[in-house]
Structures are given as structure tokens and as C-alpha cells.
Amino acid sequence: MALYSEKVMEHFRNPRNTGVIENADGVGEVGNAKCGDIMKVYLKIEDDMIVDAKFETFGCGSAIASSSMATELIKGKPVSEALALTNQAVVEALDGLPAHKIHCSVLAEEAIKKALQDYYEKQDTTHSSGQ
């Protein structure tokens, strides 16, 4: 099973942060019609810090592993760091993904950014994700 790194397999078999956050401060949902993956990320934010992040993913092992790792990378971090998260950071943290599965890490990045956008809209605050 050399196609996937041990970290990908670990996050697929034992995903972190699964579930729903009731009354989440930000929720982001994305999907890829081509592969059928759907990700939903929930964020709890206090004092500009992500105190909790959870996800629900319907998709392949790479999608589940990417969601799990992405939430791990942003928990306990300032919102500004979460906004800067890239799919490449997710791939690197997973010790790589096969080229045809990179889109899973892109979905994880997009879901987090949508959840942060939702948070800002709920706060009636404008922000620039382009920095």
C-alpha cells in the first residue's frame, strides 16, 4: 500500500475532530462534483483563536485524511493563521498525497476558508483573504 503515506492511512483509519459543533461560529461546506467528495467544517472561535474545529466528510480516504489533518493544523491557532492555510501545507503534513488526490487537500483548504468567511459574515466584519 505504498500509494499512501502512513500519516494518510492513520488519519483515514482514526480521523481526528469528526462531528458537528452545535452553534458553530463558522460553517463551510464544499464539494467536488467530479469525484463526489463533500466536506463540511465547523469552527468555534473565541478571542480570534480557533478553539475547536470539527468536520463531516463524505468521500474517499484522502478526503477524510485531508479534513482530519486540516482541522488539526488550525486548532488552537489564530484566525489569521487559519486563513493562511494552504492545501500544500495539508499535503506536506500528510507526508504527501498521490497527484490524482491533491484535489482533496484543496477541498479541505476551501472548506476552512468558507467557514472563516461565514464567521466574518456573522460578525458583520470585512476581511481580506488576499493579504
- Catalytic residue check, 60: no
Out of 21, 97, 104, 108, pick the active-site residue: 104
**What grid cell was written down for 33?**
462534483
Q: Pairing state of beta strands 38-46 and 49-58?
A: antiparallel
Q: Exactly one of 9, 35, 51, 93 is catalytic; which is it? A: 35
Catalytic residues: 35, 104
